[in-house]
Structure 1
Amino acid sequence: MAAPGRIERFIEAMGIGPGDRVLEIGCGHGVAATLVCRLLDGGHYLAVDRSPKMIEAAAKRNADSVRAGHAGFLVGELESVDLGARRFDKVFAMRVRLFEDEPERARALVERWLAPGGQLFVEYDAPPPRERSKQS
């Protein structure tokens, strides 16, 4: 399945470098993960999603990157997930409702994982009606 153009544009706009450490909040099926992992050479991608079903699907979709040690997928909620001392150069979230409803709170939750000079990228657009019915 090809990535929707909006995801490709979003990933491109982040300017991910080969050695970047990238955290995605709410990875869904792992479409963005695939695009990010293609850009990394020595870097690392980690995804957090509250849905075990989505984490399973994303990890399966990106199994080669997981096996190579370039990607990891973790079930957890933004409010309570513990990433220890890990820090990231780029943190991003697409269609994660908390960033729309409570942007200051969401930003405060992820700032603890930003490396010095790290960047947060957020995009929220409501899914089209067809996609909304699939998410229910």
Structure 2
Amino acid sequence: MNRTNWLWRRALRPALAYIVAAIVAALAIALFFYGLSLAEGGDELTAQGVGSFLAISGFLGLYVAAFAAIPTIILVWLIRIVELPRGWTDAVAGAIVGATMIHLLAFGASSIGEPPSPLNLLFAAGGLAGGLAYWLAAGKPRPPY
């Protein structure tokens, strides 16, 4: 394997896949709120509204990427160490990171023992979509690595 191929497979492709995953997660979460706004009559479905929605989702994706980077790296290392099958494991890892992040950001560390709220489930669904997007964008990695 030449150096360029190694760099692409080990550094660039996973990094780009992570950014895609964060944007997909943000898009999934924002889509829920945008749909809710449309359903309640707060917004009209226009090209400008959809364009704004997509632009805001992209920026939110960068925030998601920044906040979720360290927990995601830790979970991916654990997945690799234990050699769990990839795909749904990546999706479940995204769901865990999404639900945990919003729980800690919205309710604080003192609420760790409390049951999850619907907000946690929404962010878990977004993380699930992001984790699956990561696996697909990263080229469907699987053991042995």
Using the size of structure 2 for normalisation, the TM-score is: 0.28
The structure with more helix, counted as a fraction of residues: 2
The structure with more strand, counted as a fraction of residues: 1
Using the size of structure 1 for normalisation, the TM-score is: 0.29
